[in-house]
Amino acid sequence: MIDNSKKTLGEHLRKLREDYEKNRTLFAKKINEIPQYIYDYEVGRKSPSIEILIQLYKVLNKSFEELLKPLMNLSETKIEVTNLIRRLNNVCLNERNIDKLDGFLTSLEQNIEEEEKRG
């Protein structure tokens, strides 16, 4: 039996996916997922993992609040979803900070190399 919250979320994710890319196979490649799993999410057979939610966030350029919007309307899951969204935002914030730090370190290394060449 399919849980109504999964079905509602799946329908919402399908609409977001179709607005971005009609072809499920092409979309699956963009988020590093199997097309059958995309279908399973969309019909409510499976729930996307945190990793897939992060990929959807990145590829669709939608907030986690927007991705999980149907679940926010269900009072029994609202607190759990709010906590999940907070965790997902923290993970992505940390990734962005790591990317910024990596860029800074690369720039610093280049400056050091240039100084050594001039040295």
Which pair of structure tokens corresponds to residue 41? 């999410």
Which pair of structure tokens corresponds to residue 98? 């790591």
Which pair of structure tokens corresponds to residue 11? 């329908």
Q: Tell me the whole-structure pTM to 2 decimals.
A: 0.69
Mean pLDDT over the full length of the chain: 82
Q: What is the pLDDT of residue 20?
A: 96
Higher-scoring residue by pLDDT: 88, 19: 19
Domain range for residue 73? 4-118
CATH for 53: 1.10.260.40
> How far apart are alpha carbons 96 and 103 in whole angstroms?
11
- Structure confidence by residue, pLDDT tens digits, 38-57: 999 999 898 898 889 989 99
Q: What is the mean pLDDT of residues 114-118?
A: 71
> How far apart are alpha carbons 107 and 101 in whole angstroms?
10
Number of domains in the chain: 1
- Angle at 104 (CA atoms; ends 88, 59), nearest 5 degrees: 35
- Structure confidence by residue, pLDDT tens digits, 62-115: 998 899 888 776 656 667 777 778 888 888 777 776 666 666 656 666 766 676
Question: Phi/psi of residue 65, each to 5°?
Answer: -60, -40
